[in-house]
Amino acid sequence: MIHSLFLVNSSGDIFLEKHWKSVVSRSVCDYFFEAQERASEPENVPPVIPTPHHYLISVLRHRIYFVAVIQSEVPPLFVIEFLHRVVDTFQDYFGLCTEAAIKDNVVVVYELLEEMLDNGFPLATESNILKELIKPPTILRTVVNTITGSTNVGEQLPTGQLSVVPWRRTGVKYTNNEAYFDVVEEIDAIIDKSGSTITAEIQGVIDACVKLTGMPDLTLSFMNPRLLDDVSFHPCVRFKRWEAERILSFIPPDGNFRLLSYHVSSQNLVAIPVYVKHNITFREGSSQGRFELTLGPKQTMGKAVESVLVSSQLPRGVLNANLNASQGTYTFDPVTKLLTWDVGKINPQKLPSLKGSMSLQAGASKPDENPTIIIQFKIQQMAISGLKVNRLDMYGEKYKPFKGIKYMTKAGKFQTGMQRPHVSCVKA
Amino acid sequence: MSSGSGFGDEKGGSSSVGEPEYGHDPASGGIFSSDYKRHDDLKEMLDSNKDSLKLEAMKRIVAMIARGKNASDLFPAVVKNVACKNIEVKKLVYVYLVRYAEEQQDLALLSISTFQRGLKDPNQLIRASALRVLSSIRVTIIVPIMMLAIKEAASDMSPYVRKTAAHAIPKLYSLDPEQKDQLIEVIEKLLADKTTLVAGSVVMAFEEVCPERIDLIHKNYRKLCNLLIDVEEWGQVVIINMLTRYARTQFLNPNVNESLLEESGEKAFYGSDDEEGKEEKAEAAALAKRKPYVMDPDHRLLLRNTKPLLQSRNAAVVMAVAQLYFHLAPKAEVGVIAKALVRLMRSHSEVQYVVLQNVATMTIKRRGMFEPYLKSFYIRSTDPTQIKILKLEVLTNLANETNISTILREFQTYIKSMDKDFVAATIQAIGRCATNIGEVRDTCLNGLVQLLSNRDELVVAESVVVIKKLLQMQPEQHSDIIKHMAKLTDNIQVPMARASILWLIGEYCEHVPKIAPDVLRKMAKTFTNEEDIVKLQIINLAAKLYLTNSKQTKLLTQYVLNLAKYDQNYDIRDRARFIRQLIVPTDKSGALSKYAKKLFLALKPAPVLESPFKDRDHFQLGSLSHLLNAKAGGYQELPDWPETAPDPSVRNVEVPEWTKCSSREKRKEKKVEKPFYSDSEEESGPTESADSESDSASGSGSGSESEESGSGSESEESREESESEQEDKEDEEDKRKKKKKTDRGKVKAPAVESPESEESSGAEEKNRAQKVKGRRSGSESESEEEEESESESSRSESESESESESDTDAKKKKKAPVTKPPPKQAKKESKKEKKEMSLLDLDDFEPTPSPQVTPVNNFLSSSLVTDLEGLSLTDTVMAPTTIAPSGSVKTYELLHRITGEGLGVEYCFSRQPFSPDAHMVAVQIMFTNNTNAETKNLHVEDPKLQSGMRIKEFPEIELLPPGEMVTVVMGIDFCDSTQAANFQLCTHIRKFFVSIQPPVGELMMPVFMTENEFKKEQGQLMGMNEISEKLTLGEKCQNEHGIVQRVTSAANVSRVPCGSDKECRFAGKTVSSGILVLVTVATKEERAAQLTVNCEKMVIGTMLVKDILQALTQ
């Protein structure tokens, strides 16, 4: 399946290669570099590139291209999903998956890659098993290792690979037994300039951090499980039980993991927690334009909207912007024409606004007046879909675990500002 | 080195520090020599005794490999460390070895012996890793060794080793394709494996080695379908893709009828009216002819079992299921995949890219499926361009009369985007909507014309190109648009757009007679500066005008042609020459010139704007080939549906042959009947032998007696038999006394003193005797059963018959059952009725220590056995079946006849207390020798157990003659877990890895309790220790009777008396730690019931609930 893997940094250098079958020359990447040159943006490199003898399937993460070399038919998603899993594993191990981190830990990276694939076919991708095989480097362990000469490779054999619950290692022990669940929802929305919702959907996940001794068997139930009609689960969740009772029953992996993700589609009504009023005008022939933008909360169930960040790609003709923010700070990059405004918390009594003038390139024609505005925000203690966890029970172990649940709503791909013409316009 | 030099310094810090030192050496100086020196340094470290130095050296070497630097000259130094004790060094050496072995084949051979040793290691993980590295070394010379290792590992006891064997298969295949046939054999064997761990890997091997051998799948099809949900995610993808192909060859198209309708529907929409009528009739006829479609249950099984996987977190799995549904499901059911695919769209952009490609193909065939999700394909300004363009494609495919206005409105917004490629694609999309949907054609055209006044030249150019295509469809009405476009030639610089305008004017010059020559005039002026495609169109325009309006344009045309004659581009020169000959009449002009008008001004068909994804679905969706729209290497075509369904019975899994064979079958029957007979038989077995012993063996006691029955002299044996037979009769006569008899047996047992059996209690010995009897009945059963069911008078006769038989020859006896089957069947029926009753009774007295099956500890010395070969034969034959008290003892396979090379082994949980150790579960093991040769020295070796688990081996079986079977009992302390006990089963020639995994219900033993005690205990096991489940009782267990039967067969518990008839209560305790297990089944109206299990160990409780639930709902 996967023949070789090359890691390419943003300047086009191959800084790591790994082969699972016979060696493929790194010159195969030339085809990739060609495609990279052709693409206007880094993310526009096609994920699948055919070459005369191989196929290159790549993913881009943290400004590193992970280029897998394939020789024969294989589902492309299979490779893509695997590469993402590799990145996730690196992230899990090294905190962040940057070029420097990979280079610093090249031996661990190599050991991991060796365990994850056998002859190009995924072998151990479960983080709990990998951690049993190869211990993640920590500062303490690095120090100890240099002194004692001991290793990162687990001394014990990975019994997890043999178990019926491969995602959980055996013999877990904690003094504080804790189970935390974060319900995080992201709103993806496209909102018209007039404020009407073109499309809005919610993408939710429940991330768990479970540190429990032994083999606990957890059940998580919801107040309103009917909201979850489109879900995907971690393999530990017992699907039958969910189908029958709408209860999540599972033996959790040890540590952090994503229990489930769900999708509340555009067909349902999605509450939009903020609104934006903006007015950007340019006059023909004048080198000045006016800029006005106001934000306000909407349908937030009384919760504060925090960490608000507004960004907008202003038209090319704009030379500079001279604005006045009622709160927070704004920056305008004259090169990329990107305007960002870090608003902070929205105070419903005094709505934040950004007003001022823009100077235009002399002689340029009147730019488009409806740039896209992208908004980021966070609302704590609320899941916008209304999802609520009812209770968490533990079986199989005797101690009383400490349980915690947190809700949060965030903006996902939340954009507004573009004007939708009326049908009549089209017909005119 | 260039890119990684900084990095090398960090990592190999010490070495770079060392470099200057070497620099003093006059010989060194160049980079090569310093490199060489550095490797010397590494070699030294590798040769040292310290693991830490070795490790440091290996780390640096691996870092070199990672950077793509050549480290092959270190091979000899590295390979020496292959047997290093330090695990990390070892692993890194493996990494090195696998990387360079191909280049240094001879040296690589040095390491092989280490791996061969590893293959024999008792630890399964070491075996697996040895096999993994061995098979990864790409050295042709070791192919036979690899082949051997793979074969060996394929029958390893550990599923993990078998999985590794499956992984090794494609490695060997790519190294030496000659091995294909042998490898297919291994694949076939592994396909039959029942563990989820192996399934994914072996199917992957199948796909790489022999994807054409679809016949290998038949027998495993249902198993694969059922295992699928528990297979790890990567294996799921491979299995689903393979099953898609399989299903296409084996089942009928579920959409035969629909697809016809669908086509007709589409045609009616686009096609002309009269055609439509005809077609409809034809289809109606075709439909009438067709038989109603019935889906194969296996086809349904596949669809049903894959559906939950749409919920997987792995995008590849979801996609695999989606393509399966798309290719295999009836049209009405395909819709379920849309939601899951839309969900994937939120994933990484690469995932989006692939999913959108597939959605684009699907939307062409099945537009309705994605229509509800239209808005999910709306484009965001933050999407990468390639995603935007794919979304556009999907939106275009989804456009129809009802949603076109919204879609067009969306498109209008997109045109304002700053991403020009995307804008161009949007304009093309508008063009396609216009051609597909007649109603909006004018609207679109107008919209596009408006775009002609856009400030952005690219937008204008793209619009021109699209307008050109649209105008070709109905040119007459649009002369003003053409005029408008003619004006644009002054401004538009994009060559493609200029060329399009010129072509349009030329083509429709009759509609714009005044403007066209003027355009030509302007073009003639700029001719030399134009791009090639524009030049060609200028020549075209000139020619067309010359033909229609030669008066005004003759000179211009000449001028243009002259310019073209001297153009740099030969294509243009050729064209000019050709056109001149064709249109300018000269005396020499050829015959073609009179057709010039027809050539140039022929009516051209309008272009069809169609999706690039049209017809891409002949590639299996989700595949690489589909994505590239070209066949990738190794792609397996998705076969067309067969016209008629192949024989579905090929998927019927044959019952392993040996269960069919007479002795086995007999045994099962016997077991079923047993509750009825067992009263006498079971009890009589031990007692009788005890009696006979005391009689015959001069009071040596039951222990020695059982021993004797196994190994005693022949004369004794026959006597004993006859005696026992008589006893049997007696027993029959007074069945009611059975309880007393057991007591008697019990009493007798301790009274007997036998030196050999001191450790084993009397009960144990009795067990053995009983078992011996069981074996005998296995072969001889017929005659016995007959006797029993017949009247007593006739009985004595048959008895004598059987006796004589047993005396004469074992083989003869074996045949007996075959010769007399009919009467037996008749009897069986009558027995069945009684069986249920007796079951209940049995349950009641189960807890009282019932007679035991005990292994005689190894006193069968080999010499004795060889002396008394014939005897041991009779021995097997003569024992009656008295294995378990309850009728439905389930037997499990320990070693299949094929895997065991003729030795078949089954086991069951006899539910007898295991007397040598009360904390052990008694497991009864039945060996059958299916070969033509004797199997000797059967014994257990090398148990590998989870911590705390213990095993009490059965005594070695010295000899198992061909065709015979023998039963032994061993004890296993499972520590109240359902973890498997693994051990090796050894014969004189072979070792087999086997494992016994107990169902949770067998981990307990019955406890007697009163109602009050029960309630009290239950009260203490509330809350977390209580698990309740609601259930609907299966049809066959609606009455109390049925429930009791089901529960007791699922778990080894005993019934607790209960005042209410709405409740059944059971109690048991775990064998190992004696923890109470309480089961309550409360029945309600209408088959509803509630099952409650109270147990301190929640895992046991949960599992028990599951098992009982299953038993009750079936």
The reported pLDDT for the residue numbered A64 is 92
* Confidence band of B703 (pLDDT split at 50, 70, 90): very low
pLDDT at residue B971 greater than cutoff 80: yes
Which chain B positions have a beta carbon within 8 Å of A370's beta carbon? 416
pLDDT at residue A362 greater than cutoff 90: no
Report the alpha-carbon distance of residue B617 to residue B628 in Å, rounded.
12
Torsion (CA) B807, B810, B811, B817 in degrees, nearest 10? 90
**Mean pLDDT lowest among A205-214, A249-258, B663-672:** B663-672
**Mean pLDDT lowest among A142-146, B139-143, B421-425, B598-602:** A142-146
Interface A–B counts its CB contacts (< 8 A) at 283
pLDDT in tens, B639-697: 888 888 788 888 887 554 444 444 444 444 444 344 444 343 343 334 344 444 434 44
pLDDT in tens, B759-810: 444 444 444 444 444 444 444 444 444 444 444 444 444 444 444 444 444 4
- Give the burial string for B284-316 (b: 16+ CB within 10 Å, else e): eeeeeeeeeeeebebbeebbebbbbbbbbbbbb
- Pairwise CB contact (< 8 Å): A103 & B1102: no
Mean pLDDT of B836-849: 40
Of B67, B126, B409, the CB nearest to A423: B409
State both tokens at B987.
Answer: 């014969």
DSSP state, residue B329: S
The reported pLDDT for the residue numbered B587 is 64
Mean pLDDT of B1014-1022: 81
pLDDT in tens, B491-541: 777 788 888 888 888 888 888 888 888 888 888 888 888 888 899 999 988
* Residue of A341 and B764 predicted with greater confidence: A341
The reported pLDDT for the residue numbered B884 is 38
pLDDT in tens, B584-643: 766 665 666 777 777 787 777 777 777 788 878 888 898 999 998 888 888 888 888 888
Report the alpha-carbon distance of residue A176 to residue B193 in Å, rounded.
42
| Helices (H), ranges, B489-549 | 495-507, 515-526, 532-548
CB–CB of B374/B395 below 8 Å? yes
CB–CB of B1080/B1092 below 8 Å? yes
pLDDT in tens, B554-564: 888 889 888 89
CB–CB of B907/B894 below 8 Å? yes
Residues 6 or more apart whose Cβ sits within 8 Å of residue B1113:
B1031, B1032, B1033, B1034
Of A23, A76, A166, the CB nearest to B627: A76
* Confidence band of B698 (pLDDT split at 50, 70, 90): very low
pLDDT in tens, B354-395: 999 999 999 988 888 898 888 889 998 888 999 999 999 999
The reported pLDDT for the residue numbered B289 is 52
- Pairwise CB contact (< 8 Å): B88 & A153: yes
When the pLDDT of each residue in chain A is averaged and rounded to a whole number, the result is 84
Q: Provide ipTM, 2 decimals.
A: 0.90
Q: For chain A, how big is the Rg over CA atoms in Å?
A: 26
* Confidence band of A267 (pLDDT split at 50, 70, 90): low
Mean pLDDT of B941-955: 78
Q: What counts of helices (H) and strands (E) characterise chain B?
A: 49, 15
B341 part of contact set with chain A, CB < 8 Å: no
CA distance A406 to chain B (A): 22
**Mean pLDDT lowest among B26-40, B102-116, B181-195, B348-362:** B26-40
Distances (CA, A) of B336 to A150, B246, B399, B607: 53, 22, 21, 36
Transcribe B50-95 into DSSP letters. Answer: -HHHHHHHHHHHHHHHHHT---GGGHHHHHGGGG-SSHHHHHHHHH
- Pairwise CB contact (< 8 Å): B633 & A426: no
pLDDT at residue B351 greater than cutoff 90: yes
Of A17, A119, A232, the CB nearest to B167: A119
State both tokens at A245.
Answer: 């009772």
Which chain A positions have a beta carbon within 8 Å of B68's beta carbon? 14, 17, 26
CA distance A263 to chain B (A): 7
- Pairwise CB contact (< 8 Å): B634 & A72: yes
CB–CB of B662/B817 below 8 Å? yes
CA distance A305 to chain B (A): 23
State both tokens at B939.
Answer: 């014994």
B528 part of contact set with chain A, CB < 8 Å: no
B308 part of contact set with chain A, CB < 8 Å: yes
CA distance A349 to chain B (A): 32
- Pairwise CB contact (< 8 Å): A418 & B636: no
B836 part of contact set with chain A, CB < 8 Å: no
pLDDT in tens, B38-54: 677 888 888 888 888 88
- Suggest the residue from B11, B158, B313 to mutate for an interface test with chain A (most A CBs closer than 10 A): B313
Q: Kind of pairing, strands A178-191 and A402-416? A: parallel
**Which residue in chain A has the smallest CA separation from B201?**
A121
Report the alpha-carbon distance of residue B161 to residue B740 in Å, rounded.
52
* Confidence band of A265 (pLDDT split at 50, 70, 90): confident
The reported pLDDT for the residue numbered B740 is 46
The reported pLDDT for the residue numbered A226 is 82
Among candidate residues A235, A183, A229, A197, the one with its CA nearest the CA of residue B339: A229
Q: Is A220 left (phi over 0), alpha (psi -120 to 50) or beta?
A: beta
Among candidate residues B199, B129, B209, the one with its CA nearest the CA of residue B163: B199
State both tokens at B750.
Answer: 């301790």
* Confidence band of A184 (pLDDT split at 50, 70, 90): very high
pLDDT at residue B969 greater than cutoff 80: yes
CA distance A328 to chain B (A): 24
When the pLDDT of each residue in chain B is averaged and rounded to a whole number, the result is 73
B1075 part of contact set with chain A, CB < 8 Å: no
* Residue of B326 and B903 predicted with greater confidence: B326
Report the alpha-carbon distance of residue B264 to residue B279 in Å, rounded.
7
* Confidence band of A148 (pLDDT split at 50, 70, 90): low
**Which residue in chain B has the smallest CA separation from A203?**
B346
- Give the burial string for B880-891 (b: 16+ CB within 10 Å, else e): bbbbbbbbbbeb
Amino acid at B862: S
Q: Kind of pairing, strands B950-952 and B957-960? A: unpaired
The reported pLDDT for the residue numbered A194 is 81
- Pairwise CB contact (< 8 Å): B354 & A77: yes
Report the alpha-carbon distance of residue B949 to residue B1072 in Å, rounded.
9
CA distance B1091 to chain A (A): 16
Share of chain B above pLDDT 90, in %: 11
* Confidence band of A154 (pLDDT split at 50, 70, 90): low
Report the alpha-carbon distance of residue A60 to residue B346 in Å, rounded.
16
pLDDT in tens, B265-303: 444 344 444 444 444 555 555 554 556 677 888 999 999
* Confidence band of B121 (pLDDT split at 50, 70, 90): confident
Mean pLDDT of A164-180: 82
